[in-house]
Amino acid sequence: MRLVRFLAWPILAGLAIAAVVLWREFRPLSPEPQPLSRPEILGGPATVQPFTEERVSYASAVQRAAPSVVNIYTRKLTPQQQSPLRNDPVFRRYFSQSNRPQQQRMESSLGSGVIVSSEGYILTNHHVVANADEIIVLLADGREAEAAVAGSDPETDLAVLRIALKDLSPMPIGSSSQARVGDVVLAIGNPFGLGQSVSQGIVSATGRGLGLNTFENFLQTDAAINRGNSGGALIDAYGNLIGINTAMLDETSSQGISFAIPVKTAIKVLEDIVREGHVVRGWLGVQVQQLVATAPQEGGVAPPAALIIVEVQPGSPAATSGLRSGDIVTHINGDPVLDGVHSTNLIADLKPGDSVNLRVLREQQALTISAIVGVRPAVSAAEIRAPRSGARSGPPSPP
């Protein structure tokens, strides 16, 4: 019995040691820890998945319209100013008294234009090419050509050029009448001579009249229109032309307020110049003023929703129809009068020979007077004030 007890402890100890050795030898191996990749450390995905949704881009619109936008470079010879000391008796002897021709210097300017016809017609601003001795047009494909002025209209600040090149890309024409505040627009031109550039914005307002031109119906936008963009294209999100860029609010700082001439006006000017050689506009021959808001209500008309005739030109269609000074015009062809600018544009858009019905108040009596629209007399560029902030300036003319 003693012998059994003596041998039991060594045997149990050996079995325990053997069990530990076997467990360590045959236990399941756990995977070794792997180092984390950098995206996992930063909390991002281990791999970047491709972007499957369609991106927001106007590249297709630009690709469609950009070949039609051209850079315009003009050169003009101007007399060089002589020193005021030349006529001073004290200093006159120091100047050569030879009868030399007056020295001249070359001035250059730049702008933009839009090809609107495969026959080579280009729309741009009048102030871009006014009084230029040479006009060079650089196309988007690198070709260049000398351009001739087919016609110019200072009253809208538009001009039509023509180049003799083939395989041109006319820009698709959109509808400026359907432009809405908030619509996305793109301005394409040659700002500061950097080359063709695109800026993006929205239509901020329509029907703006600023007193820059005689006839105005500007589209306002916050797309950047800088010096050199004048005459370039304002397009919609599909690449259609809806305006000709013409002015910014302040050329010394970016205010996000720029203006374009509606394409409807531009195409009308183009067609008249190509067909008639000049712009044909309707005319009545009256001078009007807005009825002041403080004027008493008369005949059911609440000021300022009316125009008062202050002058009727002798022999004009208005005089022939019987219109008089003091008449208050409330409706034109059944449409209520809004303001002088709107009414001037409305009459100018009529064709000479058309009949127009005017509803007027004369001594509190309502009358309807019919007049035959005449041809508006031509206005020269000299009768319009010099350019201001990249656009022509001038007071509105009477309808």
Which residues are marked as active site? 127, 157, 230
How far are the Cα atoms of 170, 209, 388, 389 from residue 392, in angstroms, in the given order? 26, 13, 6, 8
The C-alpha angle with vertex 300 and arms to 297 and 305, in degrees rounded to 5, equals 70
What torsion do the CA atoms of 218, 219, 224, 227 make, to the nearest 10 degrees?
A: -20
Please tell me the distance from the alpha carbon of residue 347 to that of residue 307, in angstroms, as a whole number: 14
Backbone angles phi, psi at 155, to 5 degrees: -75, -20
Cβ-contact 68, 120 below 8 angstroms? no
How far apart, in whole angstroms, are the C-alpha atoms of residue 341 and residue 217? 8
Q: What is the DSSP letter of 223?
A: S
Sheet holding 148-153, edge to edge: 144-146, 134-138, 69-79, 104-115, 121-125, 158-162, 148-153
- Residue 271: enclosing H or E segment and its boundaries? helix 263-276
Three-class secondary structure of residue 38 per DSSP: helix
Burial class from Cβ neighbours inside 10 Å (0-12, 13-18, 19+) for residue 52 reads exposed
Cβ-proximal residues to 21 (8 Å cutoff; 6+ apart), any chain: none
β-strand 335-336 against 328-332: which pairing, if any?
Answer: antiparallel
3-state secondary structure of 202: strand
Q: CB count, 10 Å around CB of 37? A: 12
Locus of tokens 């309807």: 368
